[in-house]
Amino acid sequence: DAGVTQSPTHLIKTRGQQVTLRCSPKSGHDTVSWYQQALGQGPQFIFQYYEEEERQRGNFPDRFSGHQFPNYSSELNVNALLLGDSALYLCASSPGTTQETQYFGPGTRLLVL
């Protein structure tokens, strides 16, 4: 059983560009959450998707947007990149039950120059 997968593993962009990160959830999981982990810090919640809609959002600007597809996979889009967007972006999936646990992918490391 494949776990949570993310692509690409690494990415280098310049300020002002746009980026799309992808996530495939663990089999049987319908809920996908995205987190940003800056260097030396704990992950911070960006948003969560299930039933193809954004259901919860953390304290991130509208430059961060997402999408969930019918097969439960998800994309994270960031527009107008800033240097401060450099971070490890983690995707987590969960089954959406009442006693759920979130399982994390390996992350995408984004460097903005």
Partner 1 sequence: AQSVTQLDSQVPVFEEAPVELRCNYSSSVSVYLFWYVQYPNQGLQLLLKYLSGSTLVESINGFEAEFNKSQTSFHLRKPSVHISDTAEYFCAVSPQGGRRALTFGSGTRLQVQP
Question: Residues in the site for partner 1, rule: CB under 8 A?
Answer: 4, 6, 31, 33, 35, 40-45, 48, 50, 55-56, 58, 90, 92, 94, 96-107
Give residue 78's region: left, alpha or beta (phi > 0; psi -120 to 50): beta
Q: What is the CA radius of gyration of the chain?
A: 13
What is the smallest separation between the CB atom of 8 and partner 1, expressed in angstroms? 14
Cβ atoms of 64 and 77 closer than 8 Å: yes
Write down the least CB distance from residue 17 to partner 1, Å.
24
Nearer to partner 1 among residue 17 and residue 97 (C-beta): 97
Place of tokens 């992918």: 105
Measured from the CB atom, the residue of 85 and 94 that comes closer to partner 1 is: 94
